[in-house]
Structure 1
């Protein structure tokens, strides 16, 4: 059965940058080879299940899944516009140094540290001086073309999905 919008799809995947660097995977052995397992020791590497069209993964991934079938493998190359977009100056936030120091209980972050916004997004501190602090809240993969090697493990159509919701 070919994947269509609304299907629940389980996949194994490995995401790479243009230079071949693995940035994410569902496979523990690949994570260990790429050094990801060390960086995230508590993460469980298991197949990913998503609802196609549900906005749970980037647009290019959803589009690439449509039409595939259980057991198929595919390599998807996803441009920034269908992934995390281009970096934008609008995503660089400026804070008054004294106000941020008060919010952080008297501490000042250093360049390279991360701040967490109220919505849970994280921004890397890119500038610190006595007057202003700037943090970049662009997604880390903004501007990157992403390549995903995927394998379709399972596809549940709408009928199977109704059973799960009861």
Structure 2
């Protein structure tokens, strides 16, 4: 019976998921209808199950641990604390940097994301004619995540 297989370390998986914050706000999903419903639909995104290898560090620790032992087509809600997701928010990762070091001639717009000369995408918290205050934290740092997942299949 195929449905008796359970996820073990190293298995290749396809999962569909909807990620929410504790207040219920959806921040990501693999399901087009849920994205439309939540107002986060993106035209260029392909809405399809997510492929990864279980318990190998390809996803955050909370997902890796949460899928172990699941059966195909099983659904589960995972509540993932920051330390098992994207870590705590670190104030020292907010830095004031001269525009010249960022290779910018114009101040970036507050609230936007820019790419640093090192290739890192960061959020602009403040900017003037001479500097920008940038947040190098992951956008989900410090947040508890609630993931509704469905194990679509264990890929052979």
User: Do Structure 1 and Structure 2 share a fold, with TM-score over 0.5?
Assistant: yes
1:164 alignment counterpart:
none
Question: In structure 2, the residue corresponding to 1:36 is in which secondary structure?
Answer: coil
* Ranges in structure 1 where 5+ consecutive residues have no aligned partner: 161-166
Question: Which whole-Å CA distance do the structure 2 matches of 1:122 and 1:29 have between them?
Answer: 28
1:129 alignment counterpart:
128
1:34-45 pair list within 5 angstroms = 34-37=38-41, 40-45=42-47
Question: Which whole-Å CA distance do the structure 1 matches of 2:121 and 2:150 have between them?
Answer: 30
Whether the aligned pair in 1 keeps the contact of 2:97 and 2:131 (CA below 8 Å) is: yes
2:60 alignment counterpart:
58
Whether the aligned pair in 1 keeps the contact of 2:107 and 2:128 (CA below 8 Å) is: no
2:7 alignment counterpart:
3
2:137 alignment counterpart:
138
> Between Structure 1 and Structure 2, how many residues are aligned?
152
Deviation at 1:110, TM superposition (A): 2.4
1:76-115 pair list within 5 angstroms = 76-100=78-102, 103-104=103-104, 106-115=105-114
Whether the aligned pair in 2 keeps the contact of 1:115 and 1:135 (CA below 8 Å) is: no
Using the size of structure 1 for normalisation, the TM-score is: 0.84
Whether the aligned pair in 1 keeps the contact of 2:80 and 2:146 (CA below 8 Å) is: yes
The root-mean-square deviation of aligned C-alpha atoms, in Å, is: 1.6
Question: In structure 1, the residue corresponding to 2:71 is in which secondary structure?
Answer: coil
Tell me which protein shows more helix as a share of its residues: 1
Deviations 1:37-85 (A, max 9, x none): 1xx2100100111101232211101100001110111110000000011
**Alpha-carbon distance change, 154 to 7 in structure 1, aligned in 2, over 3 angstroms:** same
Of 35, 41, 51, the residue aligned with 1:49 is: 51
